[in-house]
Amino acid sequence: MALHDTHPIWHTPEMREAITRGEAGAVVRLARRAAELTQAQLGTATGYTAASISRMERGKQPMRDMQLLQRIADVLNIPPQLLGLAARHATPPATGTVPRPAPGGTRVAGRDARDVFGDEGEGEDPVRRRNLLAGLAATTTGTLLGGASAGAASARPALTGLEDLLLHRGGTPAGEPTRAAVTAAVDASRRDFGTCRYDTLARALPSRIALAQALGREHADAQAQSATAVAELYSIATRLCIKLGEDGLAAVTADRALTAALSGADALTVAEAHRMVSSSWRRQGHYARATDVAVTAAQHLAADRTTPEPQRLSVQGNLYVTAAYTAAKQGDRHTAHTLITEAEATARQLGQDQSPAGTAFFGPSQVLLHQISISHLLGDAGTAIDHARHVNTAQLPTAERRARYWIDVARSFDQWNKPGNCYRALLAAEEAAPQEVRRGAVRTMAGGLLRHDRTLPGVRSFAHRVGALT
């Protein structure tokens, strides 16, 4: 998980001291831990061993390899000058400071957004464009795939364990079913999804769900926590299945989420489970029913006064954007605009982007993200891009959100017949979260871009990485 430049780690005494002392190894160690990466994971992403990373972090091995330092800076989104590298696109700031993006600006892992949104018209230097694309492709391949085989990125996480759990209603709990263990299991699942570690999540979900179920069976006083945890884990499973195009499985996990929520969870969890049911109906083409499920759940939640307002508004707003997207999917322009306007009003009540305890991220940025998707679905590519220009990716809370944003930008440019911009957006999505670009929509776009192979350097390699050539 690359760190955005407003992450709290940059303001801790330990980081400030490491920066002041010029201890690059300590900066890397602190940033890596904040990004929730192991030394082995960082080593894999940069093409080095965990032992080498360990020696560098402890200052036992001089950090003179500029290529390695650049890769580490790219993976963790560390300002290059903190590792003794030349800053890109900017004058190095004073010692001990961290560069900030311009307010409202969009950045692509340290690159100016103009790299993606730049005009493809006659005024653009074609040589500069080719060099830029080649650079983006090389950095994305080397940094994020860490020298892995090209086909590795297109492998799909296996859902066999989840299928077995759904079929047999069994499963081995991931440890002792204590309150703390179940809380940790839910938190880990949220992180895995947010950082697009879909393969890790697919393997871990069955035992985590079994753990949450065991808590309710073995501890009578933990029934509510068990119901809430099982519902949330099945909701996460639904989102994972949708990501992987497993619509049949998503319908089952959404039903399990709602069943668990109704057995003792709070109003927020019930409403979120209804949102998953709505999404699964939409994936099966039942747009009117899907819209109705989400809107009805939002209205019921609006009347509820048992939950804190920030949490209620966050879940309510996400229900409205889900319903608006579904209406747009159906081609119902009027309903889509009405519902996204309702979501905007809810975001204004909330005041700012936030993730209140136990609820999903919501706020003005979430509304903007859905306005991009809705405009694209309604055939308004130019409007979609106008919305996209106002998104500050540094404010998006997870790699999954950032990657999904860039994929929607790519879709809009593809619809607008701007292949260069589309390709740059796809590379930005891959840089944000390699597993997110395994989706069918990306493979379709990558396949279409192959006809521009001569003017988009690296596109064939990208298409192979995402599985468009297999």
Would you say residue 25 has pLDDT above 80?
yes
pLDDT score, position 299: 94
Q: Classify each residue of 378-417 as buried b or exposed e, where b means 16 or more C-beta atoms within 10 Å of its C-beta.
A: bebbebbbebbeebbbbbbbbbbbbbbbbbbbbbbbbbbe
Residue 375, burial from CB neighbour count under 10 angstroms (0-12, 13-18, 19+): buried
pLDDT score, position 59: 80
- Separation of alpha carbons 291 and 409, rounded Å: 24
Choose which CATH entry (2.60.40.420, 1.10.260.40, 3.40.50.300, 1.10.150.120) describes domain 1-100: 1.10.260.40
* Residue-wise pLDDT tens digits, 207-225: 999 999 999 999 989 999 9
Radius of gyration of the chain (CA): 22
pLDDT score, position 89: 42
Would you say residue 388 has pLDDT above 60?
yes
* Residue-wise pLDDT tens digits, 124-166: 455 555 555 555 555 444 433 333 333 444 456 778 888 888 8
pLDDT score, position 300: 93
pTM value is 0.70
pLDDT score, position 107: 46
pLDDT score, position 277: 97
pLDDT score, position 92: 37
pLDDT score, position 91: 39
- Separation of alpha carbons 444 and 91, rounded Å: 40
* Residue-wise pLDDT tens digits, 29-51: 898 888 888 888 888 878 778 88
pLDDT score, position 153: 43
* Residue-wise pLDDT tens digits, 72-95: 888 888 887 777 765 544 433 333
Would you say residue 98 has pLDDT above 60?
no
pLDDT score, position 325: 97
Higher pLDDT, 18 or 420: 420
For the ranges 63-67, 94-98, 150-154, 443-447, the one whose mean pLDDT is highest: 443-447
- State the Cα angle at 239 between 2 and 214, rounded to 5°: 100
Residue 300 dihedral angles phi and psi, to the nearest 5°: -65, -40
Structure confidence at residue 111 as a pLDDT band (50, 70, 90): very low
- State the Cα angle at 114 between 110 and 119, rounded to 5°: 160
Residue 320 is classified by DSSP as: H
Residue 316, burial from CB neighbour count under 10 angstroms (0-12, 13-18, 19+): buried
* Helix residue ranges, H only, 60-178: 66-76, 114-117, 126-144, 160-168
Higher pLDDT, 97 or 308: 308
- Is 381:389 a contact under the CB 8 Å cutoff? no
Structure confidence at residue 100 as a pLDDT band (50, 70, 90): very low
Average pLDDT over residues 269-282: 96
Q: How many residues does the chain have?
A: 470
pLDDT averaged over the chain?
83
pLDDT score, position 149: 36
For 300, half-sphere exposure in the C-beta direction (CA atoms, 13 angstrom radius) is 16
pLDDT score, position 139: 47
Q: Classify each residue of 260-296 as buried b or exposed e, where b means 16 or more C-beta atoms within 10 Å of its C-beta.
A: bbeebbbbbbbbbbbbbbbbbbbbeebbeebbebbbe
CA 3 to chain centre: 13
pLDDT score, position 216: 92
* Residue-wise pLDDT tens digits, 281-321: 999 999 999 999 999 999 999 888 888 999 999 999 999 99
pLDDT score, position 150: 37
pLDDT score, position 10: 78
- Separation of alpha carbons 98 and 6, rounded Å: 9
